[in-house]
Copies of this chain bind each other. A is one copy, B any other.
Amino acid sequence: MITAGIVGGTGYTGVELLRLLAQHPEVRIQSITSRKEAGQPVADLFPSLRGHVDLSFCDPAQARLDQCDLVFFATPNGIAMEQARDLVKAGVRIVDLAADFRIKDIAVWEKWYGMTHACPELVAQAVYGLPEVHRSAIASAQVVANPGCYPTAVQLGFLPLVEAGVVDTAHLIADAKSGVSGAGRKAETHTLFAEASDSFKAYGAPGHRHLPEISQGLSRAAGQPVGLTFVPHLVPMIRGIHATLYGRLKKDVDLQSLFETRYANEPFVDVMPPGSHPDTRSVRASNTCRIAVHRPQGGDTVVVLSVIDNLVKGAAGQAVHNMNLMFGLPETLGLTQVPVLP
């Protein structure tokens, strides 16, 4: 039984982590912290957890996180890097669902995130928690940087092409679409229902924080720096990411076979039959990434469609998958929920 702590449990990744951990047979949640909500039962904030989670939020000072086997940070960017050092010293293992340990180049991180990094040495040590790439390193990691939602969908879609060297990696295009929960649970005007419903828009076209994270992962796979145009969009749905990926083929290849082979042993990546168009609801509330690959009119442009639930495979589910790997549990333990459709 793993004793786990959660720092910052009042956002959507927090409540999703609680949903999954509450159904996980090998985890005991020791404490969940929130300075603002300290003392309040978790189920008062999230009535969906009534009868499933009996904890109350506790003040960080009282949380005794150093006695946990594992601490999840479901916090805004910039929190984990302040608290991780002490926990690491105490032997606690960490999965950070925010961005603090994702980018290896500290200068790049500081530029995109607009702050000075408080803990560069743990960045060097941290393992990027995309199991389909770093499975064995995750198993022995003390600090895991859980990938961002867009980066998960985009990398899983591009990886087979990039690893096989069949596309022009200087001009990759990722047209990505996210449900509104991706913006988090903080009160902001642009994510109000009356603003975001029955409408569609791009945002961050000049540059989005997930761009360097994706580029880092794909560059590693390519063995050289890649060029990527990444345009995220806001979809009037709660959960889900749909990445539509475009690349120019440099050589002829059986694309379907390439993808099926790459992910043959991956429990959470489903390569769909030729001609498929995965919809985001087909993975709703599950840890699956579904992928289809197309080559329209037999031309030299490959189109990959990659969908995930941003809160599961793009956040809390992948964090639990990483936990399973770190503690030697079966990878799919606690993550076998059937997607909720309709």
Contact = CB atoms under 8 A, between A and B. Distances in A.
Q: Which of A12, A48, A278 gathers the greatest number of chain B CB atoms within 10 Å?
A: A48
Contact of A337 (B23, B230, B231, B277): B23
Given A205-B303, A206-B275, A342-B181, A284 B48 contact: yes
B301 A171 contact: yes
A338 B200 contact: no
A216 interface: no
Given A47-B290, A181-B194, A193-B238, A173 B246 contact: yes
A210 interface: no
A93 interface: no
Interface string A271-288: 010011111111111101
Given A48-B283, A207-B296, A239 B272 contact: no
Contacts of A186: 189
A340 B340 contact: yes
B270 A51 contact: yes
Interface of A: 12, 15, 19, 22-23, 46-52, 171, 173, 175, 177, 179-181, 183, 185-189, 191-203, 205-207, 227, 229-231, 233, 235-240, 242, 244, 246, 248, 270, 272, 275-286, 288, 290, 292, 294, 296-297, 299, 301, 303, 305, 307, 311, 336-342
Which of the listed residues A51, A194, A197 has the most CB atoms from chain B within 10 Å of its own CB?
A: A194
A205 B274 CA distance: 11
A338 B48 contact: yes
Given A193-B192, A206-B296, A239 B200 contact: no
Contacts of A51: 270, 288
A199 B240 contact: yes
A191 B197 CA distance: 11
A229 B303 contact: yes
How many copies of this chain? 4
A179 B301 CA distance: 26
Nearest to A274: B206
B185 A281 contact: no
B199 A340 contact: no
A193 B180 contact: yes
Contact of A15 (B275, B290, B341): B341
A183 B187 CA distance: 14
B284 A340 contact: yes
Nearest to A186: B189
A337 to B, nearest CB: 7
Contacts of A47: 272, 276, 278-279, 282, 290
B199 A279 contact: yes
Contact of A23 (B206, B276, B288, B336): B336
Nearest to A175: B175
B237 A199 contact: yes
Contacts of A200: 177, 179, 235, 237, 240, 242, 279-280, 307
Contact of A299 (B229, B277, B284): B229
Contact of A341 (B48, B237, B242, B278): B48
Contacts of A276: 47
**Closest 10 interchain pairs by CB?**
A201-B279, A199-B281, A48-B339, A48-B341, A180-B193, A187-B187, A175-B175, A181-B194, A47-B282, A193-B196
